[in-house]
Amino acid sequence: MTRYKIIVNPTSGRGAGGAVIPVLEAELGRLRIDYDLVQTQAPRHAIDIARQAASDGYDVVVSVGGDGTANEVLNGLMQAKQAGEGKSRMGLIPIGRGNDFAFGVMIPVELEQACKTLLDGHGQWIDVGFVKGGDFPEGRYFGNGIGIGFDAVVGFEALKMKRLHGFPSYLVAAIKTIYLYYKAPAVRIEYDGESFELPALMVSIMNGRRMGGGFMMAPEAETADGYLDICIAREVSKAGIFALIPRFMAGSQANHPAISTLRTRSIEVTALAGSLPAHADGETLCFAGEALAIEIIPRQIFILSAPVEVVA
């Protein structure tokens, strides 16, 4: 019988992770899933739990929480894999604010449907990103994407909000950030033997498609193509930032003159003037980093997900 380790972050979604446990256990019982459930106690605790679960031979390790919890579980599984300690598959039940990683790998947001993905056996191999720099000189894995600059500050501001939840919190944070952070740092971007310098308001380095619960940073990205999709926003005025927000919501920013996109397997971003606030899957990489080096590692984790619908 398949063994599942269920890792719940009780603080995810402003406490929704803890509140959902009785409903979750009832649904897992109804599906006759053989599981052990553990709650995280502190930041990065899920990394240790996931790595130990893989080492202990659990078939599936499930993240119950938001993008940050999924990032930690992913890191634990990757650490176990790199050390030759286990090859568990990953499950995901999204109970967070943005749930962008879940969106990118086709996990339903409804609890019952998300639980069914654990049992149906459908899934996909996904690429995993790896970033070095900032507060993680040793490196950290990510599943969805890296945000450098404006969108990182938006995430930091959204975390401070007590009353708003989900995409509205990111939208309000974006508006607030326009007045806090609109001076673009000068950066050097290096990829595929190319190098250029510019004042970059934002550099989004994506494996998935969406950030912030509704901003389509890379609408054409695929999680298993062996490439990172890059979206670079040059410095614009405050009014220019306001004008870009609906474009990012619609995923139509690529044809804007301030936007550049590219696809690569690795990229380095270095601050020449100013600094780099950055996050990975919503988890803080640094508030004022100097340089980040990012690469994609093809087909590293098998994640259980909803089957792809075939349109006739």
Total structural domains within the chain: 2
Residue found under tokens 């995901």:
92
Amino acid at residue number 254 = A
Q: What is the pLDDT of residue 174?
A: 87
Handedness of CA 66, 208, 130, 259 (dihedral sign): negative
Per-residue tokens: 186: 């000068």
pLDDT band at 308 (very low <50, low <70, confident <90, very high): low
Distance CA(145)–CA(278), nearest Å, equals 11
Last residue of a domain, one of 94, 121, 148: 121
pLDDT tens column, 150-201: 989 988 888 787 777 778 888 888 888 888 876 889 999 999 999 999 999 9
Amino acid at residue number 251 = G
Judge whether 61 and 91 are in contact, CB under 8 Å.
yes
CATH code of 79's domain: 3.40.50.10330
Say if residue 142 is in the same domain as residue 285.
yes
Q: What is the pLDDT of residue 311?
A: 33
Nearest-5° angle of CA 115, CA 121, CA 124? 100
Last residue of a domain, one of 121, 140, 169: 121
303 belongs to a structural domain: no
Judge whether 6 and 64 are in contact, CB under 8 Å.
yes
Judge whether 35 and 60 are in contact, CB under 8 Å.
no
Judge whether 20 and 64 are in contact, CB under 8 Å.
yes
Average pLDDT over residues 259-283: 96
Say if residue 115 is in the same domain as residue 166.
no
pLDDT band at 298 (very low <50, low <70, confident <90, very high): very high
Amino acid at residue number 103 = F
Say if residue 152 is in the same domain as residue 88.
no
Q: What is the pLDDT of residue 310?
A: 35
Q: What residues make up the domain containing 12? A: 3-121
Q: What does pTM read for this prediction?
A: 0.92
Say if residue 148 is in the same domain as residue 21.
no
- Between 120 and 46, name the one with better pLDDT: 46
Distance CA(30)–CA(53), nearest Å, equals 23
312 belongs to a structural domain: no
Q: What is the pLDDT of residue 89?
A: 97
Mean pLDDT rounded to a whole number for the chain? 93
154 belongs to a structural domain: yes
Say if residue 219 is in the same domain as residue 114.
no
pLDDT tens column, 9-58: 999 887 889 999 999 999 999 999 999 999 999 999 999 999 999 999 99
Distance CA(169)–CA(146), nearest Å, equals 19
Last residue of a domain, one of 65, 91, 121: 121
Stretch among 43-52, 114-123, 126-135 having the lowest mean pLDDT: 114-123
Distance CA(24)–CA(17), nearest Å, equals 10
**Residues near 258 by beta carbon (within 8 Å), at least 6 away in sequence:** 201, 233, 234, 235, 236, 240, 244
